[in-house]
Structure 1
Amino acid sequence: MKKLAIFDFDGTLFDSVWDVVICFNRTLEIHGFPTLTHEEYLDRLGGNIDEIVSLILKDKSTAENIELVKNTYSKLYSQSPKDNTKPFAGTHEVLKALQDKGILLAINSNRTTDSIRGYVDEFFKDIDFKAIEGHDPSYPSKPSPCGVERIIEKLEVTKDETVYIGDSITDIRTSQNAEIDCILVSWGYGRKEAFESDYPLKTIDDICDLLKII
């Protein structure tokens, strides 16, 4: 039986990509770089902010340009209303049901911890996430198992008692590297490579299915 459910954030709990696209394209316009389409951004998501910016800049990816774009984007994103960023339908209800059943809940993401906590405090006030491991330059990002292993150690459960829920190949690789089970969700930003992987226990189309599996 699983005692701990670790969730990815973007594309799993929250639909957040449109505000990211808006702020990145505005940043690229400011600095005279070509903008990208929604689909092109989806192909570049999954890593930490430095990795994403490097992929966005393509042949213009230098250390100087990465810092330039990253700093402008971070400022624009922090100041934007982010009206398009909301939990996927049914997410709160399922989290509450898992919590009521005694399942420990946690989040592991390449988004910063402060950003994650801001959304959790706004939308999930009655959900007690026991641990949130976001991007921290002091530790390696996903697909490193570092964040998952820190959560498992903090909550004193075993790997066999843990399941990771995510939407992308990065999440699958994180689970593999941590040697824990993985559930892949179809409503996020995952690409073909993720859905062709035979590692996840199951791929689900409805978040309510988690209640049957966990």
Structure 2
Amino acid sequence: MGKYNCIIFDIDGTILNTERMNLVPLQRLIKEELGLEIQYENLLKYKAYAGKRTIEELGFKDVDKSYSKWVEYVNDFEEGAVLYDEISEVIKILDSKGIICAIASSKMKNQYEIDFEPTGLNKYIKCKVLAEDTKKHKPYPDPLLKVAQILNINPVQCMYIGDTIFDFKATKAAGMDFGIALWGADNLDGIEADFEFKRPSDILKELGL
């Protein structure tokens, strides 16, 4: 066994491509409720945020109500969540080699059920920490440390793979190594990843599998 006993994955932008299904409905909501036309590119930074925080940052008055409406629009959007190429195979191979696969995500549980469970990968995930499971979210280390605590693994034996600055900051604060998912990342400013993965299969190469 190499240095890492556990690979912890983010979901959005790492396992699942959910960018358009989240941001196009957000554009619609902003136009409807705030009367603003915001360019798609200017919404990309919110990919790093938990859903409700995005709504707060954008200045919606009734955060819970607007968030619920956004979720409704997301789930009605014709383009659903899709797995990135190779990621399914990578998770299966990691599991078969005895490396624990886990998830730390700001996704709410009900959205996890809608987006992730249909992929069939749930059976390979030994632990998942979602938005409701910690009071503090990324960039705080709490979700990652909770995974290590639940699995009873030393954080230094874990690698976190994500696509945003918040993922990077949370990883470093948790004392873990960080792998950037370049296939889902669109802004690398301030990110000093331990590993740069151009495609999911690079994870296996790095681990010598």
Percent sequence identity is 19
Tell me how far 1:3 sits from its aligned partner: 0.7
Correspondences of 1:85-164 after superposition (within 5 Å): 85-125=81-121, 127-136=123-132, 139-164=135-160
Of the three residues 204, 207, 213, the one matched with 2:197 is 204
AA aligned opposite 1:207: P
Alignment map for 1:1-214 (pairs within 5 Å) = 1-55=3-57, 57=58, 61=59, 64-78=61-75, 80-125=76-121, 127-136=123-132, 139-194=135-190, 197-198=191-192, 200-214=193-207
Runs of 4+ aligned structure 1 residues displaced above 3 Å come to 65-68
Unaligned runs of 5+ in 2: none
Give, in whole Å, the separation in 2 of the partners of 1:192 and 1:21: 19
Distance in 2, matches of 1:131 and 1:35, equals 40
TM-score (norm 2): 0.89
Q: 1:47 to 1:96 in 2, by over 3 A?
A: same
Letter of the aligned partner of 2:43 in structure 1? Y
Instruction: Please tell me whether the aligned partners of residues 162 and 181 of structure 1 are also in contact (alpha carbons under 8 angstroms).
Output: yes
The number of aligned residues is 205
Unpaired stretches in structure 1, ≥5 consecutive residues? none
- Measured in 2, the distance between the counterparts of 1:7 and 1:138 equals 16
Structure 1 residues 132 and 138: CA distance shift in structure 2, 3 A? closer
Structure 2 CA distance for aligned equivalents of residues 118 and 70 of structure 1: 16
